[in-house]
Chains A and B, each alone.
Chain A
Amino acid sequence: MPLFQVRDLHYYYPESEKPALKGINISVEEGEFVLVTGGSGSGKSTLARALAGLVPDFYGGVFRGEVLFRGRNIRCMDRRKLYRHVGMVFQDPEKQLVKTEAEAEIAFGLENLGLPQQEMFRRVAEVMDFLDLKETKGRFVDKLSGGQKQKIALASVLAMQPEAIILDEPTSQLDPASAEELLNLIKRLNEEMGKTIVLVEQRLERCFHMADRVAIMKDGELTIEGTPRDVAAKSIACGIHFIPPVTRFFTEMGFSRIPITVKEGRRILKENIPQQDSDAEPIQSTDFSKSKQIDNGCCPDPASLMRPDFDRNAGAILELKNVWFSYKDKENVLQEINLEIFPGEFLAILGANGAGKSTLLKIMSGLLVPDRGRVLFCGNECGKKREVYRCGKVAYLSQNPNDYLFQDTVEQELCFTLKNFGIPDGGRIDRILDKLDLKQHKNKNPRDLSSGERQRVALASVLVIEPVLVLLDEPTRGMDYGLKAALGTCLAELDGKKLSIVMVTHDVEFAAEHAKRVIILHDGKIASDGPAEHVLGNSIYYSTQMARMCKGFARNILTVEDAIKRLGPVLTQNRQAFTERGSG
């Protein structure tokens, strides 16, 4: 008997005429690892909530069909019994922790189950040991990093000893290192403790291979379901891109053997392309490879940062000279930062949490004034009295777009910014709404829009002043593939000759696809600065899945498109020769 069985499930959220789930049929066996993926609004989170008994219990709405747990209808089960068997971890660690102290937080679920104190003590101790949370003991939850908070949330569920754990995009708010650590823990829970895992996720490159089964959802329906390899083959045929880059590359190249990990991908490449020495010339010389290689820690050659349409003679828009910054309770958050940003540049800043990325962005915007060093905007010195943002030429989009939205309509939201700077509309509002595909929402309340649309409204509210420098703090946080692609298109349209974009992100794949220059910050210092192909191509950790796979075969490959362009002809040629030899 399967652990979960979903039969013909239909669900409508209250006051919604569009179904969130349409005729879902799926079963999950005991000990299985199921990955559920799909676009924003595809119903994957709703399905996770239905398995956890939260839909419709918590939300209400219209529910038809059955969700069975060990053959029993979840809706008829005693709630306490259900939560003993099924646990759920949510997306945002900030919005699921209740207590002020880590240990008390882990015990919260156990207290709710009414367990005796000795039993609670044992379970909390075991879980803290298993998840290596000893250092959080006695600490305030508020003081922990995002990764630690999410581990506490997982520990709190794990302490309840459920048979199945449902995770709704648990890594979407985490940096790559924390995300990797959490996913490895989830894998261990499945393999070593036999827990059944249902993981809803969009960052597939790290978890696709972990799953026993993958389900892809679209418009509330389960479109593709099967083993990762089957799903990879089917999804390309259906035009769905919810597969990792390595898998996508080989599927698009028409290989019958489809790899799902970098290791497998490299093995196939090795069979088809002779591996190069790391010192050897890359397989095909392009414009990219002509630029100078930059090692970590070395000062880049400014010429190597130039793009073909990049006008260095125009002078830097923003210059940071020997900038140092400390907070009251944290010293040297930024150290010796020297940076120049030129018109038309698209720069991505990567680094671990606490490396000083957001602080650097705030220094650039003028929201923070450096303790030491100078900030020059268009050649003019900025200080306490001459904040950069006051000139109306800099747009800054913070991590949470919701904090921008408070007017009754999208149009008013944009008018608000224009009015504050005393800029007449002159068609600006319509121009920017058109560019960001928001025209149809002009008279809607921005808080009634979806998360991706809200993000675009927030972006429009700062871009309406037609700035020369745009600063974006983690713009792809919590976004699915489709929304990211849409944002990328928006940015590409904005990325004209005069407009410079600086983006702080954890999303290496997004940075690889869109940024021309990349900086890696470590502990407040610039560890690496150079063209994206060099920095990401040579990085051990901040590199894309394609870069890792192609290392040694060809240089400067970051995306699937790069690989198809560069390796595609060689692979096709070698395969043809191999086939001809075989037939001969």
Chain B
Amino acid sequence: MSDEYKMTATTTAPVIEPGHTFASVTDKISSIVLTRPASNGWFLGFGIAFLATMMLLYAIGYLFIRGVGIWGITIPIGWGFAIVNFVWWIGIGHAGTLISAILLLLRQSWRNSINRFAEAMTLFAVSCAGLFPLLHVGRPWLAYWLFPYPSTMGVWPQFRSPLMWDVFAVSTYATISLLFWFMGLIPDFGTLRDRATNPWIRLVYGMLAMGWRGSARHWHRYETAYLLLAGLATPLVLSVHTVVSFDFAVGIVPGWHTTIFPPYFVAGAIYSGFAMVLMLAIPIRKIYGLEDFITSRHLQNSAKVMLATGLIVAYGYGIEAFMGWYSGESYDAFLLWNRLHGPYAPWYWSLLACNIFIPQLLWIRKLRTSPLALFLISFVILIGMWLERFIIVVVSLSRDFLNSSWGQYYPTRWDWMTYFGTIGMFLAAMFLFCRLLPMISIFEMRTLLPQAEGKAAEAAE
């Protein structure tokens, strides 16, 4: 730990409460998985999330039988909830990668308490996101045509299309996220294997630990590989959402065709991602008594990240509005007017409230340290970021160039079922994750202890 860190640690809340030892940290975290019985609350929560997942399967089944017409999409609004949700979920995933990769490289060791479940969140969010491009195509059984495979007909995808770039961006992202997450888990799998009493559980964790013995050579290779993966993942934090934003920026639709989209999308992604991290961390630390590990400092730091990215997003809105006026382009000027006064004006105003006005409360220290306030603000931000994608996708398409072709979008119950279904799937996966895997990185936590000063690599038993 750097000196600088120590200095700040004394002035603000600590990243780990005092009084913990290597053993207590390990006990605390591994016991959640190994010894703590599943509570009724867990079963209830998991049950609800599981039912929602089943609802998703039902909605998908009906979709495959009937076609995408069951959704509210139409001409001119060819993309609706599916793309909105896709962008939203991908954005949420970004916080995980940012925390695990970028903060690692920047030696922000406070991240150690939250990186594990943030990465899990990324993985599950990307899984949810990855569903939508497949579901939203008219002929999903042919969706593999988007992949550049050597077809006997010699037909290749069309490489100029941003959707094509999406395929690469998202699949790379999903792969790296999975590898990163799994690699980070390996030392902890070793711990769990060693502590498990049930031979079957030991066997399972043993297999997952892939022969981890915690030797110095293992640690050396582990650290190198982890750092390399972090290095690989870092550009992805910026590139994935940049590519996603190209889906819109490359199009000529007013409200899409703008160069500010890449940074504005990345900032928005991190914004919503941290909101989701807080939405998950706050109840988890409460329920599992992890306040010692996920301290007020983590919450505050996350809140500050949200505040910063939120301001970048606000700047994006401002620039969009400014360019609408400054460019003198009548379509852009109308776009702005339409957002503020058109049929979707309530949605736009809600978006401004959720993403710009309400999050300004985070300037207040008292609210930053209140888990309940943070939870609520995070919820508002998540809604706001969903609305933002809705405004970009749907509202831009609803009134473009030819007045004769303007339309309105009315989401159907299938749209909602699919959306809530993915939330259910995400939560179900999170519930399982909490019970089956150490949701805080045990060995990395131990490096935060004062005892670990200067000898992080020896932390494993």
Q: Do A and B bind each other?
A: no
Interface residues of A (CB under 8 A from B): none
